[in-house]
Structure 1
Amino acid sequence: MKAFSLVTAVFFAIGALAAHAEDTATQADSLLQRVEEDFRAAFPDLADELRFEYPQHYPSTLVVDYRTRKFTVYGRSMTGEVSEQPHEAVGPTHVGFRLQISVQDDSVVNQAMMPQSLREPYWVTDLSERHPAGTGKQLFCRLSRGGRLDQDVLGRLTTFQINLGEGEHDRLQPAPSEPAGAGPRRSAPRGQLGAPLGYPLTIEGVLVTGGKVESNTLLVDNVNGQRLAEPVSVVVSCSYVEDHNLRRGRIALPAKTRCVLRGYEEFTMIGVPPAVHQLADQLGWEERPLSPTPWQWRTTFVALDVVAPAGLEIERPTD
């Protein structure tokens, strides 16, 4: 009798878990269907070229394609080297976009720091999280966009994602050195590596070699002694103190050598602001500034000290 009761209890537990999983999937599907309806309503002018897909290999995910195609790309290893074996990936053309929205439980902590922009060989991918009120869910958004995507479309895409719910950058977090209840800090947004900009970090990684990447790009896999589940690419610059001022130096990271650097993250804006294009159209300017990259923020790691390898130094300009 006891054995029968135990078996019965196990079957009831399995049934309850299956029912919960089914309810969760149904809730996610319902949420994504509403997102699709809202997207169609927000972009009626693009209707003829939009494609909507719910990939079976990516559960609870909606993919919106606009002017995309297949590309041959090379993967990047955790040692920073680019794979010799290419693979196919779908991405936006220079005037297109691909938006992927995945439903997750609100308690899920994604490894990637958000919001952030990733510079990939043929496009830029913006990562963000949105939290629809009253759902207990979060939406993980990946917007891959071509460099010449219409600025009006890009602005509407940004607005659409903001309207999906509260985002991580709206939830201001206390600095790591403060207690959890210390309240929000509005002076330092978080960088790619998770800490507020300007806060002390020790990073470890290997120089990225090969492919279309900016020089001195380090593939970071460890931050402040914590190994990352997925490495993060960060451009490294350096500074030194002279006459009570922080001045820019030079540093040349060696290839195939593990580097350990101490410093902080900062960000700058690059590209041409949308306001410039709008005013140029309104005022009929014959000339306007051009940029190979869209208007976006870019984080860099500023090294103040070299822990390893031996012999690597922050150089001071002599001119």
Structure 2
Amino acid sequence: MGLTSEQLIDMYVTMNRIRTFENRVAELFAAGKIPGFVHLYVGEEAVATGVCANLTDRDYITSTHRGHGHLIAKGGDIKRMMAELFGKKTGYCKGKGGSMHIADLDLGIMGANGIVGGGPPLAAGAALACQYLGTDSVAVCFFGDGASNQGTTHEAMNLATCWKLPVVFINENNMYGISSCTLNSMCVPNIADRAAAYDMPGVVVDGNDVVAVQEASAEAITRAREGRGPSLIECKTYRHRGHFEGDPCAYRDNAELEEWKEKDPIPRLEKKLLEMGMLTVKKVEEIAASLKNDLAAAEKFAEESPFPSVSELTEDVYS
């Protein structure tokens, strides 16, 4: 596979860290401990993990309303993330942004974004800055199938190719933009087919195969670093939970969900690593226990952190 055992295990741990975090967030939201909305990444962990395995802190990402997985894969602190979800002062946005606005510029995380199609222009801007400053940094734009139909996305892609910007567009096609199936919202079989209109490479990968995602994104990121312009990668995947927590999912049937759960990226990689002797059952259990402890510490940190005071309402607001 061209990857070391350490790299493969790291990706396995990252996917499990995302899944553990998201499953607990679902429980906390149901218990009324998290205000606002949350859009969970369960089932799509291979995309963020495979892509971010190729990035450094000097590289940038733009995220979406379903952004927890991207942030964790890029190195986000789950304590500060959980505190933000709880609306606490110790959160990434001091409790004022919530799930859809977490950012950490020190890690190159330009922010999750509640606006569908809001990320591509920001990623193009970050890539322009990298090009202007003469660094070898790149920007990666995660966006969903719904955002693939937004004008902002197409404008960003057009600009990126015209100026050969070091940006990689990662489409997470989970088949549903809220409740609209891609079969009813697009007239092309693949979102990646649209790359030809901008004269950039466009490839389709199995978004539930973390190795396939890592390999495809590694090639595109290297291309961007070398100044050869942008690429579009479409990752075919599926979210196990609703568009948001509380979504009854009346628009899809259980048979479809169960079919995709059979292709769950985490047990898929685990099976490979066990067969290759890179993991043992004992090691799997140790990883799960360690992640559970980390999550418990994050939840405790969030619970015990203070809320921001009313007097801080206008702090950190630009205008």
Same fold, TM-score > 0.5, yes or no = no
TM range (shorter): under 0.3
- Name the one with the larger helix percent: 2
Q: Which has the higher contact order (CA 8 A, sep 6+)?
A: 2
TM-score (norm 2): 0.25
TM-score (norm 1): 0.25
